Structure formats: structure tokens, C-alpha cells
Structure 1
Amino acid sequence: MALSDEEQRLLAQMEAALAAEDPKLVNALRGTGVRRVHRRRAAVAGVGFFVGLALLVVGITLDREVLGVVVSVLGFVVMVAASVVAIYSWQHVGGVGADPAQTPDRATTAQGSRSAGDQGFMNKMEERWRKRRDESGF
């Protein structure tokens, strides 16, 4: 059922008001297509990793030395390339459309969101390191 002109106008006004009120939500909703692409790319890279692993095993089991080495090296290269693509894509799955305040990076994680027990442990380790450094004269 198609919307009337009045309903389309009201819908456009509501969308504009939502975009003005909460732009982060609008960006997050628009980013789902990019996130899907990165997920698919990571899944394909996972399959590629296992194809490379199969090539590596087949190359090892071949009787001809030169062909076996070539197939094994090709399998290893495919595995490494698939791993790099998978890691790169998986990093972008969580980062697209996410609120930077909700996805802490390493710097804020080390200072802000750790528990008191973790900070106490790190403080002890740093103090031990300082003592060793001071005792050795460096």
C-alpha cells in the first residue's frame, strides 16, 4: 500500500527530526551495509585460510619434489594473505558505526576501565621494574 503525499511529507519530517536529534543513531543505521561487507569478507578469508591449509598439506604429500614445494609455498602464501584480510576485515566490523566513547582503545582501557585489582598488579610490577633498574645502575 503506497503512502499518500501527506504521509510521505510527515515521514520525511520525522526522518529529518531524527537526524537532527540523534546523528549517531542515523550513522549507525546507515553503516550496516559496510559492516555486512566486512563480515562477508572475513568469512571468505576464513574459507581461504582453510583452502591454503589444504594446499599446504597436499603439497607436502606430493611425490614430486618441485611441484610439492611450489604447492606448499602457494598454500602458505594463501594462508597468510587470508589471515591478513580476515584480521583487517574483523577489526572494521566492530568499528563501523560504533560510538567511539563506547569502544575504548588501548590507551583508555589501560587507564580507565580496568578494575582496581588489575591496577594494583600493574603498579606492583612497575615498582619492581623500577627497583631492578635502580639497583642495576641503568
Structure 2
Amino acid sequence: MPLSEHEQRLLDQIEQALYAEDPKFVSSVRSVRARSHLRRSIVLAVVGVILGLGLVLIGLISNLIVLSVVGFVLVVGSCGLCVKAIRPRASISVASVAEAGRPGKAPRPTGLRSRMEERLRKRFDEN
């Protein structure tokens, strides 16, 4: 059952208060969740690759092209899952959440794209 709008707003306020009060606890909880999610995704990807390779081999031995294609798709999908799990995400940092709670200050964007855009703007502003 989804939360009502009022309950969702209250939950968001509680989360922001927790971020502001105890950033060390928040970062430790996030790191534990991230590690367990990463480990589970990698194990799932490895199992998918092994099953996909098995299907490709069985399809080649028994001359079933469809089985080989399904195995290949499974291998590619599993590799994509592994890359997606390993790739660093542009997540909201504790400092940016704390700054967002302050009026008049916007959180600073993070990530490669925003840094590249910022550098490009600085170059054009200098000229």
C-alpha cells in the first residue's frame, strides 16, 4: 500500500533531519546497502553469464539456433547488469542534502557531465 502525500512529506522531512543530524550514520548505512547490492548484482551477473554460455554451447551442439541466440542474449544482458552495478552512480551526497535544507542555497551538481559543462562555461566566460 503506497503512502499518502502527507505521509510521504513527513517521511522526507524525517530523512532530511536524519541527514543533517547524523551524517556519519547515514553514510555507514548507505555503504553497507551499496556493498550488499553490488555483491548480489555481481553474483547474479556471473550466474547469468555461465548459464548463457551453457545455453550457447548446448545450442551449438544440438544445432538449435534459437537456444544459442537466447544464451547469447543472456550473456550480453548479464554483462550489462554487471557493468551497471559496478559503474559509480551520481548519488546525492550527505553534504549536498544538508545544503539543500538551507534556504537560498542550491545543491551543487555532481558527476562528470556537470563538471565538463562547468569547465566549458568557464572557458567561454574567460574569452
Per the normalisation by structure 1, the TM-score is: 0.46
Per the normalisation by structure 2, the TM-score is: 0.49
